Amino acid sequence: MIAKFKGTYGSGIQALTYAGQNYMIVDRSLIPEILQVLRNEERFDYCVDITAVHYPKREQQFDVIWILYSFGSNERIRVTTQIIDGEILPSSVSIWATANWLEREVYDMFGIKFDGHPDLKRILLPDGWKGHPLRKDYSILQQDNEWVQINLGIASGQ
């Protein structure tokens, strides 16, 4: 399968293995095409997870990762792409319905927006919260004091 992809997409895909697990680093330009191909042709019908990692010192600060599983071939694969801060990714809701809440959580925690998502709003944090906690520049003790003061009536959550 990797050979087929390399033939079609050439240098846009890097196929790697670590600790016995296969994963691909793909160019941003190949999303969503590679995801559609994985779903429709390679039958990776179960999207296990969509998540992100923040590397502030890198130029392309965010790693967005799709973890996919195929029931037919009992195979799990990770697709990683790297984006800069503020870049918008196409939503995978049309490919896997489960992406709905998973992408909402990535947006909530990292601020990465997904284009074409039916309802992109915060999911774990309250609606008016400012800031995206899982970014590395959000301190562990930081809270949105303004929200806390308006909604909870106390000076600070600490």
Partner 1 sequence: MTDPNTLSHLDLEAPEKPFLDANELVINMGPQHPATHGVLRVILRLDGEKVLGLECVIGYLHRGVEKIGEHRTYTMFNPYVDRMDYVAAVSNGLGYCETVEKLLSVEAPPRAQYVRVILTELNRIASHQLWLGTHALDIGAITPLFYTFRDREEILKIYEKYCGARLTTHAFRIGGLQYETYAGFEKDVKNFLDFFRPKIDEYEELLTTNRIWLERTKNVGSISAEDCIALGVTGPVLRASGVKWDLRKAQPYANYKNFDFDIPIGQNGDTYDRYLVRIAEMRQSVRVVEQAVGSIPEGAVMAKVPKVIKPAVGEVYHSIEAPKGELGYFIVSDGSTQPYRVRVRPPSFVNLQALDLMCRGQLVADVIAVIGTLDIVLGEVDR
Residue numbers at the binding site for partner 1 (CB under 8 A): 18-19, 21, 23, 45-49, 51, 53-54, 65, 67, 71, 74, 76, 78, 96-98, 100-102, 105, 109, 122-126, 133-134, 138, 140
For partner 1, give the closer residue by CB, 30 or 79: 79
Which residues, 6+ apart, have CB-to-CB distance to 17 below 8 Å?
23
For partner 1, give the closer residue by CB, 29 or 55: 55
DSSP H helices, 1-122, are: 2-9, 33-40, 99-110
CA distance 136 to 123: 20
For partner 1, give the closer residue by CB, 3 or 140: 140
Supply the minimum distance, in Å, between the C-beta of residue 12 and partner 1. Answer: 21
Supply the minimum distance, in Å, between the C-beta of residue 20 and partner 1. Answer: 8
Record the tokens describing residue 155, joined without a space.
């000076």
Q: Residue 32 half-sphere exposure, CB side, CA atoms within 13 Å?
A: 16
Instruction: Give phi and psi for 25, each to the nearest 5.
Output: -105, 115
Supply the minimum distance, in Å, between the C-beta of residue 51 and partner 1. Answer: 5
Supply the minimum distance, in Å, between the C-beta of residue 19 and partner 1. Answer: 5
